[in-house]
Structure 1
Amino acid sequence: MEHAKTVGNFIVGRRTFEGMRGSGGGGPFADVDIVVVSKSVKNIPGIKIVESPQEALNYLHEKGHQTALIAGGADLHNAFIGQGVVDELIFNVAPVLEGKGLNLLLNTEHYQYKDVELLDFKSLGSGVVQLHYTISH
């Protein structure tokens, strides 16, 4: 929420948005431009729906935003990363072990490798650590 308020927007996938809305989300984001990327949903009152990462970026650029925040699952992140439009990554690492985590891929057809540089890290409390990286292009 802090990052979304700072940049004034965020791009989210349909499933993440529905989970956010289901838990009473949206209220704290009243002054934030929300863009949902979905090929199946066509209309959510008060929310911009687009079908592709580029449409989302174009919309936010037209609204005057120079930075976009992506919040969602691996599919959404991989769509943006695959287009080479991601400059920074922020991970919140929680003290939980699970069978499947967020799997970010640069390219699913060819092996690719990109260096990342740690910009910042901080404790968010309850054992959660936030890591902030920049991606080499």
Structure 2
Amino acid sequence: MKTILWATLTANGNYARSSQRHPPRPEATADFAVHARQYGNFIVGRQTFLEFQENASRRPQSASLDGIDITVVSSSLTLPPGAPAQTAADPRAALALVRARGHQAALVVGGERIHRAFLAAGLVDEMIVVVTPSLEDEGRRIVLPSGERREATLIEHAPLDGGLIRLRYALGPSDTW
């Protein structure tokens, strides 16, 4: 199964944080929604899933996630019956659930913890990065396990509205320093 990590980063390489004062860029949200619809699913961590649920009413219709299979990686989240998602304890279990639902590829979104978990397990084949025209303080970054290195090959780049740029990379095998 192909696994694609999707992230929004600032121009200085940090995860683009959001707040009431600085909400997610609508162009990035729309790009995520396009990819989620393309793959029919996404895998997310608990915290990002809860934020998605909390902010659902503020998402534009063009970023609707209706009909998308959502898998939440969490060992502590209990979803009520009829919830719009399923849970998995770890990345491999999440991929097994996505595969069981008939998907050929999985989109992994969220933040540092979920991305690190998939990268550390060697489960990421491609990476889509949407770069926003902003800078942030130290922030958080996409990080591999200590001593690990992976080459990336650019397979697509596209400008998005609002000065954003989408970069898509194929990731090579893990190597050590």
Residue 22 of structure 1 corresponds to which residue in structure 2?
Answer: 54
**Structure 1 residues without counterparts, runs of 5 or longer:** none
Question: CA separation in 2, counterparts of 1:63 and 1:52?
Answer: 17
- CA deviation after TM superposition for structure 1 residue 21, in Å: 1.4
Distance 1:100 1:40, change over 3 A: farther
3-state SS in 1 of match to 2:50: helix
- CA deviation after TM superposition for structure 1 residue 102, in Å: 4.1
Q: Deviations over 1:32-81 (max 9, x none)?
A: 10001112212142310111111100001111111000010011011001
2:107 is the alignment partner of 1:75: no
Question: CA separation in 1, counterparts of 2:50 and 2:157?
Answer: 29
2:75 is the alignment partner of 1:42: no
Question: CA separation in 2, counterparts of 1:117 and 1:129?
Answer: 16
Contact 1:60/1:68, CA 8 A, preserved across alignment: yes
Question: CA separation in 2, counterparts of 1:46 and 1:7?
Answer: 17
Of all paired residues, the percent bearing the same amino acid is 34
Amino acid at match of 1:18: L
3-state SS in 1 of match to 2:159: strand
**Residues 82-101 of structure 1 aligned to structure 2 (within 5 Å):** 82-101=120-139
Structure 2 length as normaliser, TM-score? 0.72
Structure 1 length as normaliser, TM-score? 0.91
Amino acid at match of 1:61: R
Question: CA separation in 2, counterparts of 1:31 and 1:62?
Answer: 16
- Aligned-residue Cα RMSD (Å) equals 1.6
Bigger mean CA offset, 17-26 vs 80-89: 17-26
- CA deviation after TM superposition for structure 1 residue 30, in Å: 1.5
Runs of 4+ in 1 over 3 A off after TM superposition: none
